[in-house]
């Protein structure tokens, strides 16, 4: 066989960001610098995640967060790594993290215009089992003269300028998108210490018979949700069930293979479980820009849902366009 063609024109995330910036004449370069800080936070979180069991970083921190989750040691470490990277970037005015009750305003960065929302470690209940977890992030541009108060953050996903996630799986996979842009996937090459563009312009399948939801909650589900789930199980060719219990891992599979991910609001959690600002909205933006769709439990476009407070929750159905449409149509039938 001929010599395998070696790719010598490697597109690292750093190069990709430079090329993106060049497309915007008026760009100041601030967003690029912010993305370099985001990139470093993913690299450093990945490093500690992969060593957790070796350096006694698994298990509980002995504390809980605002939304009542027991915090794992890695939840706290991941949060601290992320906060340090955002603060030292000089680009972030205010940061919302799942692990911190109040919005963190960086007085050191009085003139920076970006607000960042993040879930430092998503799926942390799975950490000790070695299951893939991830970091979810979203970036807002603050209005002129904003002081970065938490009210400045109660915006719908349509106002996100960028969003994405990094899944710490067999390799670290970064998926990110900009408002009105495409979805691009980067794979960490540990030897180079660089994220490499491996999945340009991700376009998800319009349909796929895979559903991903915690059916252990089904006794609490509303009737239309029960009907939706049953319709897939009774289909001519029944759907496959795939549920990892880490939103980032379930989302990454759904993005690549197609299908639908759902965490419905139900009688037990009337507002749903997943948090709007740093789980539902960033994921919705990725799925919409990849050709899919995302709605809440009232079948409203997830990107238009405005959180009432920074840790506000919502039900969510997201995935292949036609698969989410099925949920919407069943809810319409129920009126
Ligand atoms: P986090 O670990 O950031 O608190 O998020 C956990 C979320 C999400 O990752 C996942 O989809 C969901 O919790 C799983 O919830 P259940 O265990 O109730 O299915
Ligand atoms: Mn949590
Ligand atoms: Mn989460
Ligand atoms: Mn989390």
| 1 pLDDT more than 60 | no
DSSP single-letter state for residue 301: B
The Cα–Cα gap between 82 and 196 comes to 21
CA distances in angstroms from 167 to 17, 33, 90, 119, listed in the order given: 20, 22, 26, 12
DSSP H or E stretch at residue 181: none
DSSP single-letter state for residue 55: T
ipTM: 0.98
Ligand closest to the CA atom of residue 247: 1
Please state the atom number of ligand 1 nearest to the C-alpha of residue 248: 9
Residue that has been written with the tokens 């909205």 in this structure: 281
The Cα–Cα gap between 244 and 167 comes to 13
Residue 78's nearest CA partner among 23, 14, 29, 123 is 123
What's the gap in Å between 35 CA and the centre of ligand 3? 21
Token reading at 121:
């470690």
- For the stretch 277-301, pLDDT in tens is 999 999 999 999 999 999 999 999 9
In this structure, what are the phi and psi dihedrals at residue 92, rounded to the nearest 5 degrees?
A: -110, 130
CB–CB of 57/75 below 8 Å? no
User: Which one is predicted more confidently, 83 or 127?
Assistant: 83
**Torsional sign, CA 303, 313, 263, 223:** negative
Ligand closest to the CA atom of residue 121: 4
CA distances in angstroms from 243 to 77, 108, 170, 256, 262, listed in the order given: 26, 42, 17, 15, 10
pLDDT at 4 (0 to 100)? 75
| 212 pLDDT more than 70 | yes
Residue 116's nearest CA partner among 108, 104, 128, 125 is 104
Largest CA distance in the chain: 63
What's the gap in Å between 283 CA and the centre of ligand 4? 14
What's the gap in Å between 248 CA and the centre of ligand 1? 9
The Cα–Cα gap between 297 and 270 comes to 10
Label residue 58 by pLDDT band (50, 70, 90): confident
pLDDT at 28 (0 to 100)? 94
pLDDT at 56 (0 to 100)? 83
Beta-carbon count within 10 A of 66 CB: 15
Q: Which residues line ligand 1 (CB under 6 A)?
A: 69, 98, 119, 122-125, 214, 245-247, 263, 273
Please state the atom number of ligand 1 nearest to the C-alpha of residue 274: 7
pLDDT at 233 (0 to 100)? 97
pLDDT at 149 (0 to 100)? 87
CB–CB of 251/242 below 8 Å? no
User: Which one is predicted more confidently, 335 or 208?
Assistant: 208
Please state the atom number of ligand 1 nearest to the C-alpha of residue 243: 19
Which pairing describes strands 240-241 and 210-212: parallel, antiparallel, or unpaired?
A: parallel
- For the stretch 143-178, pLDDT in tens is 988 888 888 899 999 999 999 999 999 999 999 999
DSSP H or E stretch at residue 169: none
Token reading at 81:
């790594």
Label residue 312 by pLDDT band (50, 70, 90): very high
CA distances in angstroms from 271 to 40, 161, 260, 321, listed in the order given: 34, 26, 20, 24
Whole-prediction pTM: 0.97
- For the stretch 64-114, pLDDT in tens is 998 899 999 999 999 999 999 999 999 999 999 999 999 999 999 989 999
What's the gap in Å between 224 CA and the centre of ligand 1? 23
Mutate to test the pocket of ligand 1, among 129, 137, 273, 294 (most ligand atoms within 8 A of CB): 273
What's the gap in Å between 273 CA and the centre of ligand 3? 9
pLDDT at 2 (0 to 100)? 64
Please state the atom number of ligand 1 nearest to the C-alpha of residue 69: 4
Label residue 317 by pLDDT band (50, 70, 90): very high
What's the gap in Å between 314 CA and the centre of ligand 4? 15
Ligand closest to the CA atom of residue 127: 1
Please state the atom number of ligand 1 nearest to the C-alpha of residue 216: 19
Could you give the percent of the chain with pLDDT greater than 90? 89
């Amino acid at each position: 066989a001929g010599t395998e063609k070696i790719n010598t024109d490697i597109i690292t995330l750093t190069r990709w960001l430079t090329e993106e910036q060049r497309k915007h004449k008026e760009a100041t370069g601030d967003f690029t610098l912010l993305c370099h800080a985001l990139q470093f936070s993913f690299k450093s979180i990945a490093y500690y995640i992969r060593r957790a069991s070796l350096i006694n970083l698994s298990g509980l921190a002995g504390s809980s967060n605002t939304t009542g989750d027991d915090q794992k040691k890695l939840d706290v470490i991941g949060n601290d790594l992320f906060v340090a990277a955002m603060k030292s970037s000089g680009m972030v005015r205010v940061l919302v993290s799942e692990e911190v009750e109040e919005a963190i305003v960086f007085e050191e960065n009085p003139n920076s215009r970006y607000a960042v929302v993040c879930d430092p470690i998503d799926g942390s209940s799975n950490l000790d089992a070695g299951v893939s977890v991830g970091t979810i992030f979203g970036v807002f541009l603050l209005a002129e003269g904003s002081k970065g108060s938490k009210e400045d953050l109660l915006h719908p996903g349509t106002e996100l300028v960028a969003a994405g996630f990094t899944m710490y799986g067999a390799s670290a996979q970064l998926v990110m998108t900009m408002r009105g842009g495409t979805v691009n996937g980067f794979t960490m090459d540990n030897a180079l210490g660089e994220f490499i563009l491996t999945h340009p312009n991700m376009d998800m399948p319009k349909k796929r018979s895979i559903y991903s939801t915690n059916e252990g909650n089904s006794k609490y589900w509303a009737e239309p949700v029960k009907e939706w789930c049953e319709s897939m199980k009774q289909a001519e060719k029944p759907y496959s069930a795939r549920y990892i219990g880490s939103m980032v891992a379930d989302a990454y599979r759904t993005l690549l293979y197609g299908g639908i991910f759902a965490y419905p609001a139900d009688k037990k959690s009337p507002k749903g479980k997943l948090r709007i600002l740093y789980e539902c909205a960033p994921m919705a933006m990725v799925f919409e820009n990849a050709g899919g769709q995302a709605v809440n439990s009232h079948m409203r476009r997830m990107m238009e849902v405005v959180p009432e407070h920074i840790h506000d929750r919502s039900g969510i159905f997201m995935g292949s366009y036609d698969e989410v449409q099925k949920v919407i149509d069943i809810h319409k039938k129920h009126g």
